[in-house]
Amino acid sequence: MEVLEAIRKRRSIRKYQDKPVPDDVLKAILDCARLAPSAGNRQPWVFVVVTKPEVKNKLVEASGNQAFLAQAPVVIVVCGDAEVSAARYEDRGRSLYFIQDTAAAVTNILLAATSFGLGTCWVGAFRETLVREALDLPSNLRPLAMIPIGYPDQERGPRDLRPFEEVVWYR
């Protein structure tokens, strides 16, 4: 699938078939995450691949019972290390770049998964302390996004978008 087609087709999918994601496909998606741009090429991220049902259930609890997280065969938890960016960019790295960098990696994951015919959803509503505990994360890593990935079990049409003229300004 062309990247433009993936961008247009991607929707948040919250129902998944009971069908595994092949390992080579998952690895290709994770490689796309690694290829995202990052300030100064610091790559201040770690991608935690969660497949164990007991860990997925803890992620559901951490997210205020967003049960579709456990339905997906795989959840990728994208984590960022503020100090990796701060080491070069000080406050701007700590407060801004590492979050932007990981967001770019999340987008690569969503689009790569779409290209493989997979459904995803960017999940940002969760209690970080509970996710940290569930994944046994070191204190330098902040979980920033959880992405369930699976073959879609729902169809979604075009989304509502704010008008072009409202969001694109020319000067």
Ligand X SMILES: Cc1cc2nc3c(=O)[nH]c(=O)nc-3n(C[C@H](O)[C@H](O)[C@H](O)COP(=O)(O)O)c2cc1C
- Catalog residues that contact ligand X under the rule CB under 6 A: 11-12, 14, 66, 121-125, 159
Q: How far is the CB of 161 from ligand X (least distance, A)?
A: 9
Closest residue to ligand X, Cβ-based?
Answer: 124
Q: How far is the CB of 58 from ligand X (least distance, A)?
A: 16
User: How buried is residue 19: exposed, middle or buried, by Cβ count under 10 Å (0-12/13-18/19+)?
Assistant: exposed
Q: In the complex with ligand X, which residue's Cβ is closer, 11 or 132?
A: 11
Q: In the complex with ligand X, which residue's Cβ is closer, 9 or 94?
A: 9
Q: How far is the CB of 125 from ligand X (least distance, A)?
A: 3
Which residues 6+ apart lie within 8 Å of 150 measured at CB?
Answer: 13, 16, 17, 19, 21, 71, 72, 73, 74, 118, 119
